[in-house]
C-alpha cells in the first residue's frame, strides 16, 4: 500500500504528566456550526489504566482571523456527572440542531472494574449517562442516567468519539455490546463474551432513546456517518474496531435498525488487538450549490500499522458503499499515534483531535486542521 507523509502543524490540547498523575486519553471532538465553536473532550486519568479515569475534561476553541485557533483553559466538564462509587469514561458528543442542544454521552464504571472483567464475567458494571448544554459548555444540565430505562443496558457501552444527527432528525450515538459466545454459559459466567457494534438512537430530539440491532460480525468501538448515494438514497455507514486483520464496515438504511456487514476489501488495516478510529461524511466536492442533495464522501482516520499504534493515517472514500474504494492513506502524524476523532468544518476542511507523542501515543492529545485535498 502506498503511503504519503505530511507534516501538519499540531497544537497540544491536553498534555499528560505522569509525575503529577495526569494522563489524558480518549479524545472526542465536535464542531458547533451554529456558534462556530470547537469542543475537545478527553478523560483525565491518574495512570494509563482504564480504571484510573477520574474526570472528563473539556476545552473550547474558536477560529481567529490569522487561521489559528484560540483555546480556552481546560476545565472539568461538570462535577455533577460523578455518581458515588463510579468513574466516567468514553465522552461522546452529539448535537440536536432544532433545539440547539449538545448532548455529552458517557459511561460511568463501578469502582475499578476493567473491561476485561466485563468480558470474563459477561456482566456490565457501567451506567449509561448524559448531560446537555445550550451555551457552548458554560453550563451543563444535571446528569440523566438511562441505565434503568433501557432493558438491554446490562450489556452495552457507548462511545467514544462523536455521534451524529441525520437529515431526518434522528440522533445516533455509536456503541458496542457484549453477548455470550455460547447459550450455555456456566452459572452465567461467560468467559468468552463477544462484542458487536450497535448504536443508540432517538427520533424525538433526545427525549427517549433505544438501541439498534447489533452487527452480526465481531466488532468493538465504532463511529458512524450518514451517506447519500447518487440516487439520493440515504444510509448510515458504520466503521468498527476489530482484532487484527481489517476494520469492520457495515451499512443500514437511514431509519432502519439493522446493519449489513460489507465484505472486506483489505483496504483498512486494523492495528494489532485493535484501536479506535474515526469517520465523518461530507458533501462531495463537486462544486454544486445544493450540498444537501450532493452524494457524500467519507473520511477516516486510524493508525496505519498492522502491528502497533503508530503513523496515524487519513483515508478518503468517494463511493462509501464500496469498501474497495478507499484511497491509500496519507500519514498525518508520523510516530506513536492512538485514538483520534474527526470533525468536518466546511468546504472539505477538517479538524482532528489525536493521541500522539514522541515515545508513546499517550503523551498528549493534539489538534490539527487540514483539507481533504492535502495529500489524497
| Residue from 50, 249, 294, 363 carrying the catalytic annotation | 50
| Residue from 221, 226, 249, 355 carrying the catalytic annotation | 355
Cα(first)–Cα(last) distance of the chain, in Å?
14
Concerning whether 237 is annotated as a catalytic residue, the answer is no
Pairwise CA distance, residues 116 & 191, whole Å: 10
* 64 Cβ contact list (under 8 Å, min separation 6): 70
Q: Indicate the pairing of strand 234-240 with strand 248-253.
A: antiparallel
* Residue 108 backbone zone (phi > 0: left; psi -120 to 50: alpha; other: beta): beta
Between CA 359 and CA 228, with CA 221 as vertex, the angle to 5 degrees is 115
User: Cell for 40?
Assistant: 475537545
Greatest distance between any 2 Cα atoms in the chain? 63
Concerning whether 142 is annotated as a catalytic residue, the answer is no
| Residue from 235, 315, 339, 372 carrying the catalytic annotation | 339
Burial tier of 178 (Cβ tally within 10 Å: 0-12, 13-18, 19+): buried
Concerning whether 246 is annotated as a catalytic residue, the answer is no
Q: Which residues are catalytic?
A: 50, 339, 355
Amino acid at each position: 500500500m502506498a503511503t504519503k507523509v505530511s507534516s501538519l502543524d499540531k497544537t497540544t490540547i491536553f498534555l499528560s504528566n505522569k509525575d503529577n498523575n495526569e494522563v489524558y486519553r480518549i479524545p472526542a471532538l465536535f464542531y458547533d456550526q451554529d456558534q462556530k465553536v470547537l469542543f475537545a473532550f478527553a478523560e483525565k486519568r491518574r495512570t494509563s489504566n482504564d480504571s484510573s479515569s477520574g474526570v472528563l475534561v473539556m476545552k473550547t476553541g474558536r477560529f481567529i482571523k490569522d487561521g489559528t485557533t484560540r483555546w480556552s483553559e481546560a476545565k472539568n466538564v461538570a462535577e455533577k456527572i460523578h455518581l458515588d462509587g463510579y468513574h466516567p469514561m468514553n465522552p461522546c458528543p452529539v448535537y440536536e440542531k432544532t433545539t440547539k442542544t449538545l448532548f455529552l454521552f458517557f459511561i460511568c464504571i463501578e469502582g475499578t472494574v476493567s473491561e476485561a472483567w466485563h468480558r470474563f464475567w459477561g456482566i456490565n458494571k457501567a451506567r449509561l449517562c448524559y448531560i446537555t448544554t445550550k451555551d457552548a459548555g458554560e453550563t451543563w444540565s444535571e446528569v440523566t442516567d438511562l441505565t434503568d430505562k433501557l432493558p438491554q443496558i446490562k450489556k452495552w457501552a457507548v462511545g467514544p468519539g462523536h455521534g451524529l444527527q441525520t437529515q431526518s432528525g434522528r440522533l445516533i450515538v455509536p456503541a458496542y455490546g457484549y453477548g455470550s459466545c455460547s447459550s450455555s454459559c456456566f452459572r452465567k459466567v461467560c468467559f468468552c463474551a463477544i462484542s458487536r457494534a450497535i448504536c443508540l438512537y432517538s427520533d424525538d430530539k433526545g427525549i427517549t432513546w433505544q438501541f439498534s440491532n447489533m452487527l452480526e460480525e465481531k466488532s468493538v468501538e465504532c463511529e458512524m456517518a450518514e451517506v447519500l448515494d447518487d440516487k439520493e438514497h440515504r444510509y448510515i455507514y458504520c466503521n468498527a474496531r476489530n482484532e487484527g486483520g481489517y476494520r469492520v464496515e457495515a451499512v443500514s438504511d437511514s431509519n432502519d435498525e439493522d446493519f449489513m456487514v460489507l465484505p472486506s476489501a483489505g483496504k483498512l488495516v486494523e492495528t494489532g488487538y485493535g484501536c479506535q478510529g474515526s469517520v465523518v461524511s461530507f458533501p462531495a466536492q463537486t462544486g454544486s450549490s445544493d450540498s444537501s442533495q450532493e452524494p457524500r464522501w467519507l473520511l477516516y482516520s486510524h493508525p496505519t500499522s498492522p502491528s502497533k499504534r503508530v503513523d496515524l493515517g487519513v483515508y478518503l472514500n468517494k463511493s462509501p458503499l464500496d469498501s474497495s474504494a478507499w484511497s491509500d492513506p496519507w500519514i498525518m502524524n508520523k510516530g506513536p499515534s492512538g485514538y483520534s476523532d474527526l470533525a468536518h468544518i466546511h468546504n472539505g476542511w477538517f479538524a482532528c483531535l489525536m493521541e500522539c507523542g514522541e515515545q508513546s501515543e499517550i503523551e498528549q492529545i493534539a489538534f490539527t486542521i487540514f483539507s481533504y485535498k492535502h495529500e489524497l
